Amino acid sequence: MTEEEARRKLEQFRVRIDDVDRRIVALLNERTAVVEDIGRVKREAHLPIYEPKREDQVFANITSCNHGPMSPEAVRRIFERIIDEMRSIQKVRILSGDK
């Protein structure tokens, strides 16, 4: 493969990555909207934001549907970060009383 062929192929892959990244952002925003709804329900019912059992269910769900190439540990680490950010959003919503 020549350098020019490699550059063309890399550009094609980068276009695909950019598309995947945009879809990931859209899904994260969709998840955030649901998390905001959950936060409102928790606020109205005076329930805790942090629910370790539910987080364990999420981790079990996402690792069971992962068929690679990412390891289960890698997927879990990514979701730990996502959940941490979502918990922060819930805290802000509950403290501010957003509806």
CATH number at residue 44: 1.20.59.10
CB 13 within 8 A of CB 68: no
**pLDDT of 92:** 81
Read off the amino acid at residue 68.
Answer: G
Residue numbers of the domain that contains 92: 3-96
Residue 63, pLDDT above cutoff 70? yes
Distance CA 99, CA 87 (A): 17
User: What is the value of pTM for the model shown?
Assistant: 0.85
| Residue 71 confidence (pLDDT) | 97
Query: Domain tally for the chain?
Result: 1
Q: Shortest CA distance to 94 belongs to which of 38, 35, 40, 34? A: 40
Residues 73-82, mean pLDDT to the nearest whole number: 97
pLDDT in tens, 8-62: 999 999 999 999 999 999 999 999 999 999 988 988 999 998 899 999 999 999 9
